[in-house]
Amino acid sequence: MSSPTGIGRREKLLVLSTCCLSLFIVGLDNTILNVALPSIRGDLNASVSQLQWTIDAYTLVLAALLMVAGSTADRIGRRRVFQTGLVVFAAGSALCAVAPGLGWLVAFRVVQAVGGSMLNPVAMSIITNTFTEPRERARAIGAWSAVIGVAMALGPIVGGALVDSAGWRSVFWMNLPVALVAIVLTALYVPESKAAHPRRADPVGQVLVFVFLLSLTYTIIEGRAQGWSSPLIIGLFLLAAGCLAGLVYRSPRRVEPLIDLRFFRSVPFAGATVTAVCTFAAMSGFLFLNTLYLQDARGWSPTEAGLRTLPMAVMTVVFAPISGRLVARIGPRVPLVAAGVAMATGAALLVGLAQDTSTVRMVAAYGVFGVGFGLVNAPITNTAVSGMPRAQAGVASAIASTSRQFGQCLGVAVVGTTIASVPGAPGGADLAAATHTGWWIVLGCAGAVAVLGMLTTGRRALRTAERTGAELMPAAPPAGTQETTDVRQ
């Protein structure tokens, strides 16, 4: 696979900036809606479970389609798929902004997610094939990963200001100008490229993944209302288990499955996958609990609630680029362990939250949690692609991105269910008490990040990544078949 030729440093930075811009709006959209949830509930008369679906409909579809979007881009052209994703994402945002009811809002969030799925893994493939020198690529991946953390941390602040000034629909309108700028920059500066040997489509695998995610998420969110022992919930749980078993059974029997289980022979890759799930489950659970607590239990406005999370955003912005540099210099272990410890400490400070908990304690918790979230993204991405052939970097990154989205989906589903299961907890002291179980779950997920950081980044673990990378190395392509690139100056 050859890298784009004729691209200077300025053009490379423009390509990186364009890719990061797309990631920023997708990442921001993951969290900006959280601060608008109480306003949506009041305006559209929604329950807690319905609020969960406004978040999880997006992350669920995003998780299900990321890998197939990446392989499609390899076949028909990365810039083409990337531009299409921007257009669909913008269209979905506009539809969400005019949604007449909650059902329509959830449906239009699905449209948004279809567009968003064409952005993250495709952009990573573009970056990987633009920055070919290892140290240069590590810095680019560090910047890319930092944007994830910054966007998600800024979401509550930006969302709060928008909701107070222009209503909850404005959080969707703001995506349009950013997407338009990204579309123009992509047309001007991003070269078209295709893989020399693109992966084959795996429609059966895609269906199994989607049904697994949907049935599992529905079971968690609706289990309390339907009854955990109801035939529907038990049937859906068995369906999820059957889909997972089907993936495990058929993947080794296909030449190019949707999910190549050989990736998981690399301990760092497997660790990065589980770490991504734990990290983003903690983050999404943190934001979901925090939004309802600040606005419904404390009675603060969206702007006031968003500003309370400013320490988290500031620390994330500060530590995200530091993490990228640390990974490039000393590897992922220290940033990962530090991230898990910091996030766990922040969550521990919020266990036992009451209606009159001091602002100092909350600010300290948000700041420490932000340090951890700022540190965690660069080592996850770096570890996922560690030792992998460049031809497989896009697939490895897509699986890591899918794990992030699945973690977000899982976090909202689980902690939302813990709140909904407490009788009489619509607001006030009852809601504050209802968050306690959720904070313990966030704490457990964060602690798992620190443990995984220790166990999956040592020398023995790295040797498994090298062996897996050698096994996945594609055969030399026939003469005249190489990565095709059309460079636009």
Query: How many C-beta neighbours within 10 Å does residue 176 have?
Result: 16
Please determine, for residue 397, whether its predicted confidence score (pLDDT) is greater than 70.
Answer: no
Please determine, for residue 488, whether its predicted confidence score (pLDDT) is greater than 60.
Answer: no
Please determine, for residue 159, whether its predicted confidence score (pLDDT) is greater than 50.
Answer: yes
Please determine, for residue 460, whether its predicted confidence score (pLDDT) is greater than 90.
Answer: no
- Torsion, Cα 466 391 17 404, to 10 degrees, reads -60
The more confidently predicted of residues 167 and 448 is 448
Residue 443: CA count within 13 A, CB half-sphere:
15
Please determine, for residue 414, whether its predicted confidence score (pLDDT) is greater than 70.
Answer: yes
- Least reliable range by pLDDT among 4-8, 287-291, 456-460: 4-8
Q: What percent of the chain stands above pLDDT 90?
A: 17
Whether the Cβ atoms of residue 211 and residue 243 lie closer than 8 Å to each other: yes
In this prediction, residues 31-36 reach a mean pLDDT of 77
- Least reliable range by pLDDT among 184-198, 261-275, 432-446: 184-198
Domain coordinates of the chain in residue numbers?
9-191, 203-257, 262-472
Q: What percent of the chain stands above pLDDT 70?
A: 88
- The pLDDT, as a whole number, for residue 340 is 94
pLDDT tens by residue, 282-324: 988 898 888 888 888 888 888 888 788 888 888 888 888 888 7
CATH T-level topology, domain 262-472: Growth Hormone; Chain: A; (1.20.1250)
pLDDT tens by residue, 89-100: 999 999 999 998
- Alpha-carbon span 276 to 400, nearest angstrom: 7
In this prediction, residues 30-59 reach a mean pLDDT of 80
Ranked by mean pLDDT, which of 129-138, 277-286, 386-395 comes out on top?
277-286
Q: Rounded mean pLDDT of the chain?
A: 81
Please determine, for residue 59, whether its predicted confidence score (pLDDT) is greater than 90.
Answer: no
- Whole-model pTM: value is 0.76
- The pLDDT, as a whole number, for residue 107 is 92
In this prediction, residues 425-438 reach a mean pLDDT of 73
Whether 9-191 and 262-472 share one fold: the answer is: yes
- Least reliable range by pLDDT among 52-56, 138-142, 351-355, 357-361: 138-142
CATH superfamily of 9-191: MFS general substrate transporter like domains (1.20.1250.20)
- The pLDDT, as a whole number, for residue 345 is 96
Give the phi and the psi of residue 193 in degrees, each rounded to 5. Answer: -150, 155
Please determine, for residue 133, whether its predicted confidence score (pLDDT) is greater than 60.
Answer: yes
Please determine, for residue 391, whether its predicted confidence score (pLDDT) is greater than 70.
Answer: no
- The pLDDT, as a whole number, for residue 6 is 52
